Amino acid sequence: MVPHDIPYSMIIIATLLIGAFISGAFAKMRKSLGIITGIIVLSLSFGFSIASAIDVFTNGVRIELAGGWLPPTGINFYVGPFSAVVVSIGLFLALISFIFQYKEISPEKAPAYLPLFILFVAGFSGMLYTGDVFNFFVFMEILSISGMVLIASLESKHSSFAAFKYYVIASLSSSMFLVGVAIIYSSTGILNMAFLSESIKGVNSDYIKFASVLIILALAAEAEMLPLGLWVPDAYERAPSFISAILASLMGISGVYGILRFVNVVFPGVEGIRYVTTTIVIIMALLTVFVTELVAAIQNRAKRMIAYAGMAQLSIIAMVGILGTEASSAASFHIINIMLVEFLLFMTTQYFTGMGDALGKNNFSVAILLSIGALAAIGMPPFGPFWSKLYMVISAYTAGCPLISIAIILGSVAEVYFFARVLYHVWKSGIKIASCPEKRVAVLMLVALLIVLIGIYPKIVISTVLPKMGSDLAGVSYLDNVLSVVGWSL
């Protein structure tokens, strides 16, 4: 394994970070200039991410060195199949959301709001690419702080309180993460994930156990697991829908990825650590699945219900992703699907204005989009989540965890009930809806088409993409790939 000649990950992150401030500066002159700049920045980043994904699946994993410094002293970015695919999807959805907000953001808010949106995407991308623990923390802070301000962007009493609730929990989780990292660094003097995995094997495991618990609990807050995920329903309900859509699609996924990267790569080599971390993840995830699915069933507000349902799906992904390579492939498949489905659901609910004539009668195209999102979330064929949920049920059972399989099935049963209520109101009882521009419908149709195509042709994804993504997420060959850069071998 050698460092990559074209550092796509660093180019993407640099483009987003620099572009965020350029967009804000232009927005001070004129909102449209800031929007256009942001679109160019996100489009370029998306293009680089596609090039990176093609390169990774063609030539293999790439290790990119910041400043040319070799690990463990220098920071390396690990561009594997999982991060390449998920970052590409995230940038694609962020670009759509950014374009949609053109008429929603006032000229006065644009200079502050537009950079924060792009910084949020930069934090997400950095968390998935970096191979350094402290660097991971920095990107997590960028994502958290910008996300908090985006939640409060409506400047209402409710959105401000939702942002404050997230601020309190995010501050607590950041403190726990930082203390955990400080303990590890004081014991090993290393922050690189791969080298850290090797170094902590000879350290007093009690210290590392305590640090691992702090780190996993901190990441559980970002992964929307209870009890630390209590901020989610208010935040996603009170934020503008195009913000809720991107938050739901990216923020929770970054937290789940963090959990799986630490559990599968950093901690498994220490005696007893993997047992402790996996036990914590499974207990919190099962609690989240059962509580949120039940609470979602009694909700009367669509965005809040979708938020609870999304929390359950993220917890399922976290549980399945720690069960081995095959299960990680199933979890990767569901991540792809859930990012698209959550985005589509939140983007369509923004047009709800109250009860009235059936939506299917007064805005047929949006009713179709919402129906696709709801049926996909349930796990109905021929949509993508049907296959990923089935894959996770089988993988969890095969891995010797039938309780997780049961949780997935029961969660889907609950979703049949509350999403059926949504569909009833859409087509029968009636929901008033604001007019949706044809261009927006066309773009959302593209997202819906992806969900359908994945469901109709799952073999393409399962045979070509998932084996490499699952292997990457499970940490297979991660250590070899990074350590080989400096000539180490296991």
Q: What is the CA radius of gyration of the chain?
A: 21
If one counts every other C-beta atom within 10 angstroms of the C-beta of residue 192, the result is 26
Instruction: Report d(CA 355, CA 374) in Å as an integer.
Output: 18
- Given this model, what pLDDT does residue 105 score? 73
Q: Which of 65, 123, 207, 92 is nearest to 447 (CA)?
A: 92
In degrees rounded to 5, what are phi and psi of residue 62? -120, 135
DSSP bridge pairs for 79: 62
Query: Is 442 buried (19+), middle (13-18) or exposed (0-12) by CB count in 10 A?
Result: exposed
Instruction: Report d(CA 230, CA 249) in Å as an integer.
Output: 17
- Given this model, what pLDDT does residue 430 score? 55
- Given this model, what pLDDT does residue 487 score? 56
Residue pair 19/125 in contact by the 8 Å Cβ criterion = no
Q: What is the DSSP letter of 192?
A: B
Phi-psi region of 139 (alpha: psi -120 to 50; beta: other; left: phi over 0): alpha
| Residue 433, SS3 per DSSP | strand
Instruction: Report d(CA 253, CA 286) in Å as an integer.
Output: 17
- Given this model, what pLDDT does residue 193 score? 85
How confident is the prediction along the chain (490 residues), in pLDDT tens digits per residue? 444 477 888 999 999 999 989 988 888 888 888 888 989 999 999 999 999 999 998 888 888 887 677 777 778 888 889 999 999 999 999 998 888 777 677 777 777 788 889 999 999 999 999 988 889 999 999 999 988 888 887 666 777 888 888 888 988 999 999 999 998 888 888 888 888 877 777 666 778 888 889 999 999 988 989 888 888 888 888 877 788 888 888 988 999 999 999 988 888 766 678 888 888 999 999 999 999 988 888 887 888 888 998 999 999 999 999 988 888 899 999 999 999 999 998 888 876 544 444 555 557 777 888 889 889 989 888 898 999 999 999 999 998 889 999 999 998 888 888 888 878 777 775 555 555 666 677 888 899 999 999 999 988 888 888 888 888 888 777 777 777 766 555 5
- Given this model, what pLDDT does residue 78 score? 87
Tokens of 171: 């501050």
- For helices 384-398 and 302-321, the axis angle rounded to 10 degrees is 40
| Residue 44, SS3 per DSSP | helix
Structural domain spans, the chain: 8-486
Residue pair 92/32 in contact by the 8 Å Cβ criterion = no
If one counts every other C-beta atom within 10 angstroms of the C-beta of residue 390, the result is 17
